[in-house]
Structure 1
Amino acid sequence: MPLISTKGVYGLAAMYELSRHTSDAPMQIRDISANASIPQNYLEQLLSKLRRAQLVTSIRGARGGYLLAKSPEDIKIVDILVALEDDIKIVDSKVDNPILDLFFEESKEKMKEIFDLNLSKLDEYQGRYNQFLHYNI
């Protein structure tokens, strides 16, 4: 059972695409969908949740689209995942063992610490990916 669903993965991919968008003009949903390989109908649902969480803003009209509501340095990956997943869960429900409940709660907090980094930090992975491609050519 994955800890992060497709919803979280796709939402993070969409946010990363928006963070890479350098124009002041909003990014249209079809472009986000194509660049991040996310079905457009599903992306609309995710962006709606991200808008309600005040992580993106939407602009209506022919030249409308989506922009990050804050700079990528001010958006945490954990906030994106919590907005989409409602919480980062290790297990779906409490267990009848208080020791295991404590263990799972502590594990959840550690997971949040792992994802407590800025959206802009994903650019470092782009550099690592580029190095990987360079070494494998």
Structure 2
Amino acid sequence: MKIYSGLNEVTLSVNGKKRRVALRPADTLLRVLRERLGMTGAKAGCENGDCGACTVLLDDISVKSCMMLAVEAVGHEVTTIEGLNDPELQKAFADYGGFQCGFCTSGFLLNAHALLSKYPNPDDETVEEWLSSNICRCTGYEGIRDAVSSCRRSGD
């Protein structure tokens, strides 16, 4: 296990590209993405893991980047909304009104992508369970749920 102290230069793999970044061991992945790498799609909402606005994918698993130290991402692939390539899901969010103010949308999209990657044809209960880890303050849940449900893929 590598011990980090002071300012460290590390390489993070973000959206398929290697990025060198200087960080402190206490820097969250959210702050490094936003403040050092200029990737502002992950939002700082509650910053305690409740709202999901900061959701990113770590090796295709949805994680809340405000609750993860950036050094924990070394050696893993981080995907932000800027790197998401799921046109079917992204179009469904637009078609079904799966957003209102847009603040939570990137987190919901990444979480929904992870859901559909793991469970291509999830039942309604599974969709509800996965979506419950994110909060939409504008209460756009119906459009979000409908968008995700419209993207069910054959097989399971």
Tell me: higher relative CO, structure 1 or 2? Use CA pairs within 8 A at least 6 residues apart: 1
TM-score by length of 2: 0.27
Q: Which has the larger radius of gyration?
A: 1
TM-score by length of 1: 0.29
> Which has a greater percent of helix?
1
> Which has a greater percent of strand?
2
